[in-house]
Structure 1
Amino acid sequence: MRAAVAALSMLAVGVMGGTGAAWAAPVAPSAQELTAELQQVLNTGAPAAVRAAKLAGGDAAVPTADNIANRLNAYSGMVNWQVQNPVLNGEQVDAQIAVTIPLFGTKTHNIYWINQDGAWKLSNPSACVIARDVAGVDCTV
């Protein structure tokens, strides 16, 4: 009986002390989930705080998201986009944004999200890629 109590005590100490328990690696979101996240970021009708929470730059990145959204909304019937091919790469998820314009075809741009505060957030460099290379607007982040 003593041996069993001692073994359980050692197991509890190991788990409580941080040894013997592994932390789960972050799970990469799907392309559909990332597309939905980016749609929310670009929804100028959504509260700024909700949008900022999905951007690594927070409140400072919302004006860039507004610039992108305003340009894409102006051409909404002519431009389609989606996130594709997300791959977990350490603490970030690499992906592409595929932009399709009729008569011009589809072009992809590399973007990535970072795991910040336990949530996947669009990186500042990626916000700038979308602003400059997709929407043709200024990046203010």
Structure 2
Amino acid sequence: MASAAVALVVTAGVTGCGSDDKSDTATGTSTSATTSAAGHGDHSAAAAPTAADLQATLVLLADPAKPTADKTAIVVDGTKRQANIEALNRALAGYGTLTFAVSDVKVDGTKATAQVVTTSPHGAAPAMPMTWEHVDGKWKLTDASACTMLAFVAPCTP
């Protein structure tokens, strides 16, 4: 059952999941000098993340061998998603590797949005926007984007 749920992440088209993240789906990479006081943690000027930087957070989140604590550390307010992350770890154990292709990174102050294609042993899902926030000196996956991934095995609740 868990394997079927994980397969849904990729084959059912995760783009149908709602998110409060804002995204710009135009191609290319841009940066902005705009900063915001809203949000979490340290909002000092941050170097724009690369696609590889953002991809690394997704790879870590989808690696069932990595401890939950490592995963909660790369999600904004990740401790509130601990149970969801543990369910994802159980579902991915023995399932096969998920890979991610991150492109079209856009940065606006402390927010970064990119298009992500997720591939599982069963195929690839269409590109979908995901958002990261620069918090405490790190680019972390936003709660809404993390919940897009987590919802297929353990839906996020407020």
TM-score range, shorter chain: 0.5 to 0.7
CA distance in 1, matches of 2:80, 2:122: 35
Q: Determine helix, strand or coil for the equivalent of 1:59.
A: helix
Contiguous gaps of at least 5 residues in structure 1: 1-23
Give yes or no for contact 1:34–1:83 (8 Å, CA) kept in 2.
yes
2:56 equivalent among 32, 36, 41: 36
Computed over aligned residues only, the root mean square deviation of the Cα atoms, in angstroms, reads 2.8
**2:141 aligns to what?**
122
**1:84 aligns to what?**
103
Identity of aligned residues (%): 26
Structure number with higher strand proportion:
1
Structure with larger RCO (C-alpha < 8 A, sep 6+)? 2
Give yes or no for contact 2:104–2:114 (8 Å, CA) kept in 1.
yes
Q: Write the letter of the residue equivalent to 1:48.
A: T
Q: How many residues align?
A: 115
CA distance in 1, matches of 2:115, 2:89: 18
CA distance in 2, matches of 1:136, 1:50: 19
Task: Tell me if 1:66 matches 2:66.
Answer: no
Higher-Rg structure is 1
Q: Write the letter of the residue equivalent to 1:138.
A: P
CA distance in 1, matches of 2:65, 2:111: 28
Task: Tell me if 1:56 matches 2:68.
Answer: no
Give yes or no for contact 2:59–2:99 (8 Å, CA) kept in 1.
no
Q: Write the letter of the residue equivalent to 1:98.
A: V
Task: Tell me if 1:47 matches 2:61.
Answer: no
1:19-73 CA distance string (max 9 Å, x none)? xxxxx73122111121122212233332332222111122222332333444455
Q: Determine helix, strand or coil for the equivalent of 2:126.
A: strand
Q: By how many angstroms is 1:104 displaced? A: 6.1
Runs (4+) of structure 1 moved beyond 6 Å? none
Give yes or no for contact 2:102–2:117 (8 Å, CA) kept in 1.
yes
Task: Tell me if 1:111 matches 2:130.
Answer: yes
Q: Write the letter of the residue equivalent to 1:82.
A: A
**2:113 aligns to what?**
94
TM-score normalised over the length of structure 2: 0.58
Give yes or no for contact 2:78–2:143 (8 Å, CA) kept in 1.
no
Contiguous gaps of at least 5 residues in structure 2: 1-43
Q: Equivalent residues in 2 for 1:7-18 (5 A)?
A: none
